Amino acid sequence: MSGIATMIRDGVAKRWFTTHPFHSGARFPLAGWERDLQAPFMIGITADGIGHTGGTLLGVNYEATAADGRRVRMGPTARGAFHSMYELRYGFRPSLLEGAPLPPGGGENVTTYTIKPGDTLYGIGERFEVDWRDIAEANNIDSPYIIHPGRDLEIPGADNRPVVRLSNLTFNARNDDVRVRQEALNAKGYNAGPVDGWYYNMTKAAVQRFQEAQGWTGPDADGMVGLETVARLGLRVEGGSVPTPAPAPPPAPSPKTVNLANLAFNARNDDVKIVQQALKDKGYDPGVVDGWYYNMTRGAVRAFQEAQGWDGDDADGMVGPETARRLGLNPVGTPPVAPAPTPVPSPSGWRAASEPTHDYTRVSWGGKTVNRRTAIMLDRAIAILRAEGGPTFSYLTQGSYNRGVSASAGTHDGGGVVDIPSSSSAVALALRKAGFFAWVRTPAQGFSYHIHAVAIGDRELSSSARGQVTQGFQDRNGLAGRGPDPDPDPYPDWTKRYGTHVSPD
């Protein structure tokens, strides 16, 4: 004991002096020492008492780290008696041999605690179940009882068993309380795996084996730590209630079913809406969720397929069984044979693109009503912008067939006319390449910033919009003042059948 006490006082006792009496050739049992006893004085040894040595003495961990035992590490970084590296552990009973030197403090049960930010004497007393005034007296702290982080306090009369909070001992938890419990299991010969503070399968299995060794079965040996398990492991509970198992997560919603036969290009139905919403949920923009499987939707499907690492025919923009499943959908039916899509001009091919079909079925695009011919042209403009790396747009501020808007001077009364919330000349040029006369409107002209676009050749244009088409061919700005149009004129060849592009006078 004198050697052990010296380790606490000055950290220079030789390991041989401290642990040699525990080697297998020594006379056993040594009075006062008991193997695997949880006690204020504990020693862990390796190599039959003459190898690596460490211990937990009066609440302080120490570890001898040099061959002669004279390099001693003390405190929380030292591997104390509970560490899994030690082959044997001995604890000392409170009754000391008559005449043997007492450890520091005259044998009183003393724990050392390092003050942390936010601590108070009252809170520390609550933690160790000791009157805070006794702590103050033991450490010569007078009124107003100010303490500072980093100072070590002696906690007189504290229970020296390692402390854990039951609320921290849940499966898959990672914290220091799990680490303490793992050390206790390893110390008792139940392999909890690495002492890493992670309550996972190996630790749970070790707890279960320990519980079964107590004669417990069924729910009493479930591998989870309750009050009795903690007590039998030689640990002490500090606050916190027995953890309640987390409630089972709600069942995942059943995937929405889509009929692949309904997902043909140019189809309009609710199954297309489901696909469009699934694409949006995964960050792919199909345009407005309107149930129309057209160029924007197909482009979004193709982008999603390419993100799966597919190419060629596997990334054709059409939804098959595997695409649907990866979108989180439940596919049924047989997919249609993919028709050739309406040609979308490339950056170099927009000029020779064919005129869009004269389909005046009213549809929704960008949250507004347009006819299908206008929608095709808007999709072409988006495709051009994407190919050129320019800004795009996905909604309209005003659509077609919108009568009675005085600020529009009747241009939106019929088909083929839209307003786009953009002031980008790149967007206006892409609209022109798709077959619109498109002008950027500005506050200087009396408007908020937007682009006004009129579809060339639309058979349902209002009379005011037809007048703007006439101005467009004359390279004017489409306003009442008939000002010049300063922007370039990149129009597709098919627009020539509706007029001749001329320069202003």
For residue 303, the surrounding DSSP H or E stretch is helix 295-307
Alpha carbon of 297 to those of 76, 121, 281: distances in Å? Answer: 61, 66, 13
Q: Report residue 206: phi and psi, to 5°.
A: -65, -40
Between 241 and 387, the higher pLDDT residue: 387
Task: Report the distance separating Cα 317 and Cα 334, nearest Å.
Answer: 16
- Is 263 within 8 Å of 278 (Cβ atoms)? no
List, in sequence order, every residue forming a beta bridge with 365; answer none if it has no partner.
368
- Is 111 within 8 Å of 160 (Cβ atoms)? yes
**Non-local CB neighbours of 277 within 8 Å, separated by 6+ positions:** 289
- Is 425 within 8 Å of 489 (Cβ atoms)? no
Single-letter residue type at 232: R
Between 484 and 21, the higher pLDDT residue: 484
Which of 375, 422, 426 lies closest to 400, judged by CA? 375
Residue-wise pLDDT for 105-129, tens only, equals 333 445 677 888 888 888 888 777 6
The two domains 110-156 and 163-237 share their CATH topology (first three levels equal): no
pLDDT at residue 106 in the model? 38
Residue-wise pLDDT for 356-398, tens only, equals 999 999 888 888 899 999 999 998 998 888 888 878 887 788 9
294 has pLDDT over 90? no
pLDDT at residue 81 in the model? 73
Between 40 and 200, the higher pLDDT residue: 200
Residue-wise pLDDT for 315-359, tens only, equals 888 999 999 999 999 999 887 764 444 444 445 578 888 999 999
Q: Compute the chain's Rg from CA coordinates.
A: 41
Architecture of domain 255-341: Orthogonal Bundle (1.10)
Once rounded to an integer, what is the mean pLDDT over residues 1-22?
A: 45
Task: Report the distance separating Cα 258 and Cα 275, nearest Å.
Answer: 8
Mean pLDDT across the chain, nearest whole number?
A: 78
CB atoms within 10 A of CB 229: 22
415 has pLDDT over 50? yes
Q: Where are the beta strands (DSSP E) in 204-312?
A: 236-237, 257-259
* pLDDT grade for 13, boundaries at 50, 70 and 90: very low
What superfamily does domain 163-237 belong to in CATH? PGBD-like superfamily/PGBD (1.10.101.10)
Which CATH number among 3.40.50.10470, 3.40.50.2300, 3.10.350.10, 3.40.50.300 corresponds to the domain 110-156? 3.10.350.10
Once rounded to an integer, what is the mean pLDDT over residues 68-74?
A: 56
Between 189 and 504, the higher pLDDT residue: 189
pTM of the predicted structure, to 2 decimals: 0.39
- Name the residue ranges covered by the structural domains of the chain: 2-92, 110-156, 163-237, 255-341, 368-505
